[in-house]
Amino acid sequence: MAGTALGGSGPLLNTAVQNVDIRSDAEFSALIPPLTDDERRQLEANILADGCRDPLVVWQEESILLDGHNRYRICRKHRIAFDVRRVRLPDKTAAKLWVIRNQLGRRNLTPDQASYLRGLEYETAKQPYGGDRKSSAQNAHLKTAKRRKRGKNLAP
């Protein structure tokens, strides 16, 4: 099954293999608000009862886990099979933006967490002032704040 990555970044590819090479990266893990103890216990109980229903998402080019850190730990702990979706992203900035935007789409964020992630999205997407403006599209020269206000993709 194929889908489209958030923000139209590229295709997601499913892999139904538990023994795939997945690396966890502290910088990416830090972008994800931690679960409360109750949330973690409930997630573990759900996975034990129903298996891992949602695939983990891995950055294809680097084999870095982007989504499903808690599910991954629980599945490994209990030797539960899981599916993997691989997303193609051009670089680390695009991968960080994918994680941030994916988290912003979650309903369990507190207002403070959502605000923090929006700020992080802004800072990650921000481009240095200047550059080659002759070959850019009409709005490509806009600063990040103006692109965000107009609802434009913040990806560089």
Q: For the residues 108-125, what does the mean pLDDT come to?
A: 85
Q: For the residues 41-66, what does the mean pLDDT come to?
A: 96
10 versus 90: which is more confidently predicted? 90
Tokens found for residue 57: 């998402």
* Cα dihedral 11, 30, 92, 97 sign: positive
The model carries a pTM of 0.68
For residue 4, name the pLDDT band (cuts at 50, 70, 90): very low
- Predicted confidence at residue 140, as pLDDT, reads 54
Q: For the residues 96-118, what does the mean pLDDT come to?
A: 86
Q: Do 87 and 57 form a contact (C-beta atoms < 8 A)?
A: yes
CA distance 120 to 98: 12
Residue 99 phi, psi dihedral angles, 5° rounding:
-60, -45
- Predicted confidence at residue 1, as pLDDT, reads 34
| Angle, vertex CA 100, rays to CA 95 and CA 102, nearest 5 | 95
Q: Do 85 and 58 form a contact (C-beta atoms < 8 A)?
A: yes
- 24-34: pLDDT as tens digits: 999 999 998 89
- Predicted confidence at residue 153, as pLDDT, reads 54
